[in-house]
Amino acid sequence: MDRRRKPARIAQVIREMNVDVLALQEVDNQPGDDVESMQLEYLSDVLEMAAVPGLRMIRRTGEYGNAILTRFPILAVRRHDLSFPLCEPRGAIDVHLDVYGRTVRVIAAHLGLRRRERRFQWQRVLEAVASEKDIPTCVLGDMNEWYRGAQTLKEAHAVFGEPPAPPAFPSFLPLLALTRIWVRPPEAIVAIEAHRSSLAKVASDHLPVRATIDVRRLGGVENVKRGAGLWALGSGQKEQRR
């Protein structure tokens, strides 16, 4: 919000959140001599988290789009093309993670600005979710849906239930719940809240949103390692465009 581009500041906000899985939007990966020029590699390195790129937009200077960072072992990665005609390319990252011995599916997306575009993209996401009904699943990201009665949200709630959706945009005066986190089964959710630190309010125009999940409520308890309990899932910070 101060018109400055500082990946190191984004990294500090992520440290404040203390999450195990994070969905990022608007990650800019452009070559350069600066240690922070390749943002995804930089964040992965300084945070000691594995990175899964889902970068969709190719610019003259590099790639741009969404990504996942995680502390959990990555079992599988898929990418779904959500691009809509005459709109900028978009996609969803679909990963299987080993969460304390339990396979958990995480789908991260950044939907478009137009209603028809979002409807198309959400249908593709739901088709992906339906392909694996027996795996605990989290869907999260910037859904760009500000109308509470939107069909996309109704369909999401029909599949996942209706979890809390704290307003997180704009960061200086959060009024809209554009960033969403859904979990199936919904009873695994302990809390969902916007991270409202003073640094987060400046580092991006969106506040990050953090979910606390009890892995023991995901099912398959016999497969969960002894001592495992809560884990944190976040969707947030968007780097400012140049």
Which amino acid is located at 221 in the chain?
V
**Predicted pLDDT of residue 88:** 83
Task: Give yes or no for residue 224 having a pLDDT over 70.
Answer: no
Count the residues in the chain: 242
Pick the CATH number of 7-238 from 3.40.50.10860, 1.10.30.50, 3.60.10.10, 3.20.20.140: 3.60.10.10
Q: How high is the pLDDT of residue 86?
A: 86
**CA gap 39, 231 in Å, rounded:** 25
Predicted model pTM: 0.89
pLDDT for 61: 53
Q: What is the pLDDT of residue 156?
A: 94
Q: Is the pLDDT of residue 230 over 70?
A: no
Tell whether the model's pLDDT for residue 222 goes beyond 70: no
Residue 73 backbone class (left: φ over 0; alpha: ψ -120 to 50; beta: rest): beta
pLDDT attached to residue 59: 52
- Sheet strands side by side (includes 62-70): 50-59, 62-70, 21-29, 230-238, 209-214, 189-194
- What is the pLDDT at residue 227? 37
Mean per-residue pLDDT over the chain, rounded: 87
Residue ranges per domain, the chain? Answer: 7-238
Query: Model confidence over 37-63: pLDDT tens digits?
Result: 688 888 999 999 999 988 665 555 557
Say whether pLDDT at 142 is over 90.
yes
**Edge to edge, what strands does the sheet with 179-184 contain?**
74-81, 91-99, 102-110, 137-142, 179-184
Contact 16, 41 (CB under 8 A): no
For the stretch 154-208, pLDDT in tens is 999 999 999 999 999 999 999 999 999 999 999 999 999 999 999 999 999 999 9
Residue 148, pLDDT score = 85
**152 SS3 class:** helix
Q: Is the peptide bond before 186 cis (omega within 30 degrees of 0)?
A: no
What pLDDT does residue 29 have?
Answer: 72
Q: Token pair of 124, please?
A: 């593709």
